[in-house]
Amino acid sequence: MEIFYSIQGEGYYAGTPAIFIRLGGCDVGCVWCDVKESWNEADHPFFTVDEIIDQIKEYPCRMIVITGGEPLMYDMKELTTVLKGHNYQLNIETSGAYPVTGVWDWVCFSPKKFKTPDTSIYAHASELKAIVFNQSDFEFAEQHRSLVPKQCKLYLQPEWSKAEKMTPQIIDYAKAHPEWNISLQTHKYLNIP
Ligand SMILES: C[S@@+](CC[C@H](N)C(=O)[O-])C[C@H]1O[C@@H](n2cnc3c(N)ncnc32)[C@H](O)[C@@H]1O
Ligand SMILES: Nc1nc2[nH]cc(C(=O)O)c2c(=O)[nH]1
Ligand code: SF4
Ligand SMILES: [Mg+2]
């Protein structure tokens, strides 16, 4: 869909410059998705792996975030193998709705109620980033926490349109359950992509 250079706004690497590769196509259907224009793959241009390399080599940055859309709808083996061969750190943002493919340095797993994750994701999760849209999402977050590795970082991130209402509850929840950290979509406050 697009390639852009920005600052990772969310989760463990928040604040770190990163190249974003956003792949078009997603059938998970989150009602509050903030990139609904990504859903239809056919709306977006096709780039070969060589064209992607040509674009990203302009940026003085070694960290790539592959996102979407839902990147795991595709077999990520070829793209990630070639990018690894160029010595990039490869992070993925995924709902885990499809089997894990590709080679990853960091996996941000953000499970969705709208499409049950594939069981292959749990062993790969480096961070669990649960989106809090309403009260029931705390329980959903805990269900997934019980399935990820012990060292997996845990984040609660307010759904953007409900941030004002839910952030105070997220703060209280994290203080009562200090294994959880808070993740904010800082790029939206900074007005950057
Ligand atoms: C747009 S998604 C693309 C990657 C993948 N499909 C996924 O959902 O993880 C990137 C990240 O943004 C989060 N996100 C999407 N819409 C959001 C919203 N309205 N408020 C907060 N986070 C949101 C997702 O949960 C995910 O962690
Ligand atoms: N700055 C910035 N950070 C992000 N982290 C995850 C994003 C995403 O849409 O996957 C995202 C995004 O769209 N922009
Ligand atoms: S899985 Fe990700 S891209 Fe797909 S609808 Fe949900 S938030 Fe949007
Ligand atoms: Mg985003």
167 alpha carbon to ligand 2 midpoint, in Å? 19
CA distance 174 to 115: 26
From the alpha carbon of 26, which atom of ligand 3 is closest?
4
Our mutation pick for probing the ligand 2 site, out of 20, 108, 159, counting the most ligand atoms within 8 A of Cβ, is 20
Structural domain boundaries enclosing 38: 2-190
Q: Which ligand is nearest the CA of 187, by number?
A: 2
How many domains are contained in the chain?
Answer: 1
Q: What is the pLDDT of residue 53?
A: 98
Judge whether 81 and 49 are in contact, CB under 8 Å: no
pLDDT tens per residue, range 9-68: 999 999 999 999 999 999 999 999 999 999 999 999 999 999 999 999 999 999 999 999
pLDDT tens for each residue of 81-130: 999 999 999 999 999 999 999 999 999 999 999 999 999 999 999 999 99
pTM, rounded to two decimals = 0.99
Locate the ligand 3 atom nearest the alpha carbon of residue 97 and give its number.
1
The answer for residues whose C-beta is within 8 angstroms of residue 176's C-beta and 6 or more apart is none
> At 146, which CATH number?
3.20.20.70
Could you report the per-residue pLDDT of 118-169, keeping only the tens digit for each? 999 999 999 999 999 999 999 999 999 999 999 999 999 999 999 999 999 9
Asked whether the ipTM of the predicted complex exceeds the cut of 0.95, the reply is yes
